[in-house]
Amino acid sequence: MTSTTREKLLQSIRTLLANAENLPANIFDDQAGRRSILREITSLKNAITTPFEGVGELCFQPHRSAAAKIALEGKWFEVLADGRPKTAQDIASATGAEPLLVARIMMVLTATHVVEERGPQTYGATPLTQILLDPGWADGLRHFFDHCGPSMINLPGYLHRNGYKVPQDVKTGPFADAWGGRHTWALYEDEPERGKVFNSGMTRWKQNNRTWTDTYPAMSRICENVEKSKDAVLLVDVGGGRGHISEDFVKDPARRTGRVIVQDLPAALGDADSLSKQGIETMAYDFFTPQPVKGAKAYLIRRVLHDWPDRACREILSNTAAAMRQGYSKLLIDELVLPDTNVPPQGAFLDLSMMALETGTERTSGQWHDLLASVGFRIEKIWSTNAGLESVIEAELKS
């Protein structure tokens, strides 16, 4: 155990305070600075945490999300929604729960700052409580607890039985192993309500993130250099689902300098009539087959490749490369690009989630370079914000 003296502790606090002084009045206007402060606070906490306490935190990590899930499904958070203090008896009377159970679960939630303790068995909402009242965020918790949870719990045993190899096949991966042979999409097909929860949670997650054009300068990089013929295709949104990314893209009339096409499997495509009114075409397409749209200015693949191991990604990318025009077409990949060191917790957790759910992976910059080079691409630039959690990779065919 590394020794932490009082002087070392005080020096760390002084450094933290000095760095905090450099933040703007609204600390969320400087995400890089805010994240640096979070790292310093975590390091400070670790420095004064005993190994015994650290082991305890590891053992008890599931308790917080389990308690939050109980309160969510019991509608206890809804009782706190008006901001006024509520007792365990108030919550029990409003929901039919037993007061003693409410008090015991709330003990976990107040200890971990999900709920505020305002007196003996008296509680108030925190910002985290309030956000869990949003149906999309609530479904996000349900998805990770109900769907990802069993696979994550199964992951250590699965990897042990399989010789500690990276999972490569979604049909035999850790999720299918935990769910009786059903992979993620098969489960959602068999049980549509689970699919609705997943879609709701992921839609809310995406709404909270910046759109790809906030990170990537689409006007100067693709829109101003597109062919002007009426049949010229500006953007192919590969695996674009209901088309919300393309909808955001065409809101700016300056970007309507060519055709915009959304491609996905028929069941996943958005409403063709609604998209057509916005100048967006729809096309049924399986990205494991040859790309039918040839010579478009840009092929956008957003949040698709992290679902798949490298072998499958090479197939998807090769199909795209075959349709591109040398020296004109661009491949745009909207995905996480993890740093080689100091990966933020969110990025690390998402990578493990992708392994547990779909045998997928979040990739570092070096891994993206290697993957794209293996199928004939060179990366022109990686445009990143938010410590790589929001990135657009711009690539072209090798000369």
Catalytically annotated residues: 306
Q: Which among 94, 81, 60 has a CA at the least distance from the CA of 123?
A: 81
Tell me the chain's radius of gyration from C-alpha atoms.
Answer: 24
82: its two tokens = 């008006």
> How far apart, in whole angstroms, are the C-alpha atoms of residue 363 and residue 305?
10
Amino acid in position 41: I
Q: Tokens 């674009």 label which residue?
A: 240
Closest CA to 44 of 20, 8, 68: 8
Q: Which residues pair with 236 in a beta bridge?
A: 261, 299
CA distances from 91 to 130, 253, 386 (A): 16, 51, 39
Q: Which is it for the CA torsion 356, 357, 360, 363, positive or negative?
A: negative
| Three-class secondary structure of residue 177 per DSSP | helix
Torsion of CA 325, 327, 329, 332, to 10 degrees: 130
Q: What's the Cα-to-Cα distance from 288 to each of 73, 304, 315, rounded to whole Å?
A: 39, 12, 6
> Do 361 and 316 form a contact (C-beta atoms < 8 A)?
no
Alpha helices in the chain (DSSP H): 6-21, 31-47, 51-73, 76-79, 88-95, 99-111, 127-131, 135-142, 149-161, 174-178, 184-190, 192-208, 212-215, 218-221, 244-250, 272-277, 310-321, 345-358, 365-373
User: How is residue 268 written in tokens?
Assistant: 């996943």
- Residue 345 CA: distances (Å) to CA of 148, 217, 341, 375: 17, 28, 12, 31
